Amino acid sequence: MLMRNQRISVSGTALNTVIVGQGYPVVLLHGWPVTWYHWRDVIPVLARSHTVIAPDLRGLGDSDRPLGPYDKQTLAADIAELTEQLDLGRFALVGHDFGGSVASALAAAHRDKVSHLVIEEELLPGCPVPPDLVSSRYPRWHNAFHAVPDVPELLIRGKERDHLNLFWRLTAGGTAISSQAIEEYERTYLAPGALRVGLAYYRSGSEDAELNRRTARQPLKIPTLAIGGDMAMATAVEASMRHIASDVSGVVIDNCGHYPAEEHPERVAGLIEDFITRAAA
């Protein structure tokens, strides 16, 4: 299936965007340290009956890397403007990792636009969960490390490839990320400015937490599906989402780490398709 890339300017920042298929729109938002390519095997399945839009988030992948800001409210505004330019109307929204935080922020800010919300492997800042819900093999230390001012740059710069590959090894599950995918991710994450932006995503944590606490005071009412990997965030994804949404169901995929759409793409595509269809019935 031909996946068409476009560069679409939102708020002066060009977002690399893949658009394919026809039908009710589904927007896919990736996390760190991946790109739109995280969804490459899910897109053809969904595109049989949907228009699928998969952008690289601001500063990541092949999108522009402005100096900032990188809080999730700003990133959500980018995607809202993107959907307006594409004249999508209402759409289903799927987010992985930081893309899940962006998706949640977008759903909260534009409640008339988002019909279904799917969150894959994200724990929202400001929405605490019992630690024992997360697999013991998942390296939660990286959040605090990446958020510390100056120290990560001192330790990572010049060793970016080692840092990324260590992270992927620690966070993937029973099915490792393919060498082809790692090559594609390294192509963008080793580019100038990529380390700065990646750390900025973590350093907006306090702002993102306050945003989620505000949402929790008026929880989302749309159908919400939380997907976790049993070797990563597992049932904690659902527990986190229950802070900000009232209609949440959860699925934990066996033999799976932090990248369900890469490790089990057919299962994830089926879950998304079935959820959209069932919730709309």
- How far is the C-alpha of 156 from the C-alpha of 162, rounded, in Å? 8
Q: Which domains does the chain have, with CATH numbers?
A: 4-280 (3.40.50.1820)
For the entire predicted model, the pTM comes to: 0.96
- How far is the C-alpha of 70 from the C-alpha of 142, rounded, in Å? 18
Q: Which residues carry out catalysis? A: 97, 202, 258
Q: Over pLDDT 70: what percentage of the chain? A: 98
Q: What is the pLDDT of residue 2?
A: 63
Helices assigned H by DSSP within 111-235: 141-147, 151-156, 160-171, 179-189, 194-203, 205-217
State mean pLDDT over 142-151: 96
pLDDT band at residue 248 under the 50/70/90 scheme: very high
Reply yes or no on whether the pLDDT at 279 is more than 70. no
Token pair, residue 203, equals 């350093």
pLDDT digits (tens, 9 = 90+) for 87-103: 999 999 999 999 999 99
Q: What is the pLDDT of residue 209?
A: 98
pLDDT digits (tens, 9 = 90+) for 196-218: 999 999 999 999 999 999 999 99
Peptide bond into 33 cis (omega under 30): yes
Q: Which residues contact 27 (CB under 8 A, 6 or more apart)?
A: 53, 54, 55, 79, 83, 88, 91, 92, 93, 94
